[in-house]
Homo-oligomer: A and B are copies of this chain.
């Protein structure tokens, strides 16, 4: 893609003429639509649209486009955001002791799969510092105990703020992030839960899966909300298993689906393909 592109994502109560209004506005200002998806949530009558367009022949500045969009969206009481492909999101990866999700995201980033800048890595343990070093990334350790948790989270938030972080990815962070932390990054914290939610909520899901004798295990990537494991689901993957799989085998197979689900969710977020409606997500 030589020229930068832009993406407009909107949602609002459904009414007639919304598609026409936005398409007309973009056309008048010189945008060429490359891809557009529109969906209306049947139960809440919520209109959702994503428009991906070329900006090489835009007749106005980005600021001016923002301004006219702001006025139009206000008229329809739309939630909206406009992003540009050359203003890459800044991402912080949080990990703990398991490296597979972290290493997978770093590798994908190096391969060009994730359109973002990975600014830094945060952990509550020192174990993964070598991985950060391998990829030449700053590694920040915030050891956490019940007593220090509030203070450490405050320091983490300060760090994120200094780096103007857009997205936090909990890549098997193994720590419950406080509602206060989440509130600072609404729909901007992605977590990977190592099971097929809503099955096996809580601790040691692979042990639970083994005990239950399931024939499939899965992983779920979702936006973190104050309700643990209850945020809008972004991606889910599964893999078949059998009686031959020990708990260790389930953990191994689980790593594969965790990596796939998390990478898929992070990509969807980075490409601005997600609209949250209530506690469900539309992933265009």
Spell out A's residues near B (CB within 8 Å): 14, 16-20, 23-24, 26-27, 30-42, 57, 99-100, 103-104, 107, 110-111, 113, 134, 196-200, 211-216, 218, 232-238, 240, 242-244, 246, 252, 255-256, 260, 279-283
Q: How many copies does the complex hold?
A: 4
* Residues on B with beta carbons closer than 8 Å to the beta carbon of A110: 99
Smallest CB gap from A235: residue in B: B215
For the residues of A in contact with B, the DSSP-based class is mixed
Residues in B with CB closer than 8 Å to A237 are 216
- Nearest-neighbor residue (CB-CB) of A231 within chain B: B213
A241 nearest in chain B by CB position: B236
Which of A18, A36, A200, A255 is packed against the most chain B CB atoms within 10 Å? Answer: A36
A134 to B18, CA, bound (A): 48
Contacts of A24 in B (CB 8 A): 20, 23-24
Q: For residue A280, which residue of chain B has the nearest CB?
A: B213
From known contacts A37-B37, A103-B107, infer whether A281 and B243 are also in contact, taking CB-CB under 8 Å. yes
Closest residue of chain B to A211 (Cβ to Cβ) is B280
Q: With A20-B20, A107-B103 known to touch, is A42 a contact of B246 (CB < 8 Å)? A: yes
In whole angstroms, how far apart are the Cα atoms of A32 and B236 in the complex?
32
Assuming the A-B contacts A213-B280, A238-B238, are A37 and B36 also in contact, with contact meaning beta carbons closer than 8 angstroms in the complex? Answer: yes
- Residues in chain B near residue A113, CB distance under 8 A: 252
A33: B residues at CB distance < 8 A: 16, 18-19, 38, 40
Taking a contact as CB atoms under 8 Å apart, the answer to whether A236 and B215 are in contact is: yes
